Structure 1
Amino acid sequence: MDTLERGLDPTDLSIIEILQQHGRISVSELGRRVGLSQPAASERLKRLEERGVIAAYRAVIDPAAVGLGMMAVIRLRTTHEHIRPYLKQFSEMPEIIEVLRLTGEDCFLLKVLVPTPSDLETIVDSIARHGAVTTSLVLRNEPVKAIGRDLIRKAAAR
């Protein structure tokens, strides 16, 4: 199935690429960049949102600017009966900003933001009750790459 069969034409792909880099762009400017009128660009945007291609718009916050200067990645290995309770626990912990459920030896990979090492220790201690934990401090968080036209086309070709 190619991108056209999925309902994504080159204009849609351009809109997606632009919005990933400039989420606050006006609809009229977006239209200008992709060669559409403001109403046509608005309609395209609405369709992409309704189909779930564009899932959200959000601000990217600098953690250090709000006092959360320590980032860690925690790997957790546990048993099957603890998966659901852990998912509930993670959802109630605002310090855990990303949860990835894994295959392989580890069950979870958690991304954590905290202000101090003692806050990290508290998080690790609360998680380690029913599993083995490995914690790594993040030295630098590189910007997340956008999902580009080439990757979308590659997925569509399968």
Structure 2
Amino acid sequence: MVLHHMASHRRNRPSADDLKVEGRILLDRFGSIDAKDLKILEALQANARVPLSELGRSVGLSQPAISERVKRLEEAGIIEGYGARINPRALGLGLMALVRLRTSHEHIKTCLKRFSEIPHIIEVHRVTGDDCFVLKVLVPAPEDLETIVDRIAGFGAVTTSLVLRSEPVRPIGKDLVRRKAERS
């Protein structure tokens, strides 16, 4: 597989919203990411606070070059933001559950509104298959989970799974991007 350097096309660039909606198409139109871009993405996922000078040294680029690449990845919508990894247990949220809800189509919008009103629901995934939603929930204790289940049970069948342990997530990087390119 050959990875091409993304050309710098500053004129007539679409807005950030356009890039997010059509990320794959526009990435193909403006070029593709190369091996150094993938190293940058992997490094930033491991530590988003790494100084640009250190990041540049780790991938063999000067500070101005690394700054330009990071900016380009941000403008392309590949890097959507930066954040901190929070330990829920340290905040007293020691119980994680995946809650599945099967509901009817007419309740979708109402469900989404209800989910947004429950702060312990930290992720909402609309899915295919038997269920309509998979929710990631963090609570201090089982009775708090029960309260959440009771608040959404009126919309349909609810099933829950307690998370015993979560393994580290693999960062999006060269292995995943390479597989995507090989399928194309």
Alignment TM-score > 0.5, same fold: yes
RMSD: 1.5
Cα separation, 2, equivalents of 1:95 and 1:81: 24
Structure 2 match to 1:72: 97
Structure 1 match to 2:41: 16
Under a length normalisation based on structure 2, what TM-score does the superposition of the two structures give? 0.81
Structure 2 match to 1:135: 160
The 1:3–1:87 alpha-carbon spacing in structure 2 relative to 1, beyond 3 Å, is: farther
Matches within 5 A, 1:4-153: 4=4, 5=28, 6-153=31-178
TM-superposed CA distance for 1:131, in Å, is 0.4
CA contact (8 A) 2:111 2:155 kept: no
Question: Could you list the runs of 4 or more consecutive aligned residues of structure 1 that deviate by over 3 angstroms after TM superposition?
Answer: none
Q: What code does the residue aligned with 1:132 have?
A: A
TM-superposed CA distance for 1:148, in Å, is 2.1
Between 1 and 2, higher relative CO (CA 8 Å, sep ≥ 6) is seen in 1
Count matched residues. 158
Q: Percentage identity across aligned positions?
A: 63
Q: What code does the residue aligned with 2:74 have?
A: E
- Secondary structure of 1:104's partner? coil
Structure 1: gaps of 5 or more residues: none
TM-superposed CA distance for 1:3, in Å, is 4.7
CA contact (8 A) 2:94 2:139 kept: yes
- Secondary structure of 2:90's partner? helix
Under a length normalisation based on structure 1, what TM-score does the superposition of the two structures give? 0.94
TM-superposed CA distance for 1:101, in Å, is 0.8
Q: What code does the residue aligned with 1:113 have?
A: L
Q: Which segment is superposed worse, 74-83 or 4-13?
A: 4-13
- Secondary structure of 1:82's partner? helix
TM-superposed CA distance for 1:92, in Å, is 2.1
